[in-house]
A = this chain, B = another copy of it.
Amino acid sequence: MKVEIISIGDELLIGQVVNTNAAWMGEQLTDAGIEVIRITAVSDRAEDIKDAMHLASQHADAVLITGGLGPTNDDITKTVLCEYFDTVLENHVPTYLHIEAMFAKRGYKFTERNRQQSMLPKGCTILPNSVGTAPGMLFERGDTIFISMPGVPMEMKAIMSEEAIPFLKRKNNGSAIFRHTVITHGVGESWLAERIAGWEESLPENVKLAYLPRPGMVRLRITATGNDVQMLKDQVMGFTAELHKIIPELIIGYNEDTMESVVMQLLLEQNKTLSVAESCTGGYIAQLMTAMAGVSAVFKGGVVAYENSVKQNLLGVSAKALEAHGAVSREVVIEMARGIMESTGSDMAVATSGIAGPSGGTKEKPVGTVWIAIANGDAVRAEKFFFGGNRERVIKQSALKALNMVREELIISK
């Protein structure tokens, strides 16, 4: 089954909102074995929406539409659907009662605008919205299915998971897809491609390889298409095992793994705790770790030592080291790591000190210079890096490298 996604909203075209909805939908549909052939973002104008629907129906078996169902005046999708499917709005009683009940429960004022949300196109199948007021609407015209959903991410996700995907899965028959992503860290795309060229050339017709570079990472996505998911899985996992023999030191994880999730997993396995002392990364490492549920078993916390006085007062960095070597130095970053390990009583600690820019660089220490130290019991080591790019990139690459040093330390000390 081939699906096209149409995302409605001027805010997408002018770049005020990034289309994360379509990405989430693409992921869920792919996981359900349904192929997404195109994602189109169009304006709030009626003609543009109808034009996109018409084009989509020429190639897709199902067209999923999001956006333009809110209570405010700029949302016009329902009117467009009535025109496109030649029908009219009528009050849908179960939806009316659902909206009324939601407002009563939350103690909100029930306005005329909210009341209008139960006016829905006659003849379509209503897909209930368990978390909001605007339901999904399903139309079938000829061989094509159209499903319209609100653009609010939480509501779209509820309708997709509970209604749209189960419906599409029932309609879908046969074709299977399996994908597996290998996450590498440490070398660039071209260099990686050279190293695995022989392996890549050995892949059969039904197996596709894609390189997905991200700052500090290259993800290798292997996709196999055929009829039997289990056979495809065996095939892909076989190729993955071969790949692992060629570049064992570069592979840090698979699929949804992130550097921080791999670190958390290793800490849990080894029953160790971590703390952080962050200067240039400014809390970014702590935030990556604490975004994960269950991290409290292995993460104690840390200090964001942005100003030098904070490095001295909260991390016990010596005035001598700061004066003699400056904040961005091997000596200071080692004292930071030791300091946070001592005050939190953690088993390991990682510390960063660098110049994220855009200002603050010198000839000896240009913007992008970052020292990272890792302490593990009595052992401590520090390394200097030069990261390119703007402030955001320097911060992100520093955090990634710091976590990778923790990962390596955990693997070596295992």
Contact = CB atoms under 8 A, between A and B. Distances in A.
B282 A306 contact: no
A313 B344 contact: yes
Contacts of A287: 282-284, 286-287
A242 interface: no
18 contacts: A12-B39, A71-B193, A73-B193, A73-B200, A73-B209, A114-B190, A282-B286, A282-B289, A283-B283, A283-B289, A283-B304, A284-B290, A293-B357, A295-B306, A299-B306, A303-B303, A310-B344, A313-B343
Contacts of A391: 291, 293
Contacts of A299: 306
Interface in A110-150: 111, 113-114
Interface in A258-313: 275-276, 278, 281-287, 289-291, 293-296, 299-307, 309-310, 313
A185 interface: no
Interface in A206-249: 208-213, 219, 221, 223
A25 interface: yes
Contact of A345 (B17, B295, B309): B309
A165 interface: no
A306 B313 contact: no
Contacts of A301: 303-307, 310, 314
A43 interface: yes
A313 B12 CA distance: 47
Contact of A389 (B23, B154, B284): B154
Contact of A291 (B44, B219, B395): B395
Contacts of A179: 14
Interface stretch (A26-34, A84-92, A368-376, A404-412): A26-34
A27 B52 contact: no
Nearest to A27: B15
Given A189-B71, A286-B282, A38 B37 contact: no
A306 to B, nearest CB: 4
B72 A211 contact: yes
A223 B11 CA distance: 11
Interface of A: 9-20, 22-28, 30, 36-44, 48, 52, 55, 70-74, 108-109, 111, 113-114, 152, 154, 179, 181, 188-191, 193-194, 200, 208-213, 219, 221, 223, 275-276, 278, 281-287, 289-291, 293-296, 299-307, 309-310, 313-314, 343-345, 357-359, 389, 391-392, 395
Contact of A283 (B219, B290, B344, B395): B290
Q: Which of A74, A181, A194, A302 has the most chain B CB atoms inside 10 A of its CB?
A: A302
Contacts of A28: 15
Given A12-B23, A16-B181, A307 B300 contact: yes
B52 A38 contact: yes
Contacts of A10: 208, 210, 221, 223
Given A70-B213, A303-B303, 20 more contacts: A12-B23, A13-B36, A13-B39, A14-B36, A19-B19, A38-B43, A40-B40, A44-B210, A71-B190, A114-B190, A275-B310, A282-B289, A283-B290, A287-B287, A290-B395, A296-B307, A300-B306, A300-B310, A301-B304, A314-B344
B344 A307 contact: yes
Contacts of A16: 23, 27, 181, 212, 219, 221
Interface hub of A11, A17, A72, A152 (most chain B Cβ within 10 A):
A72
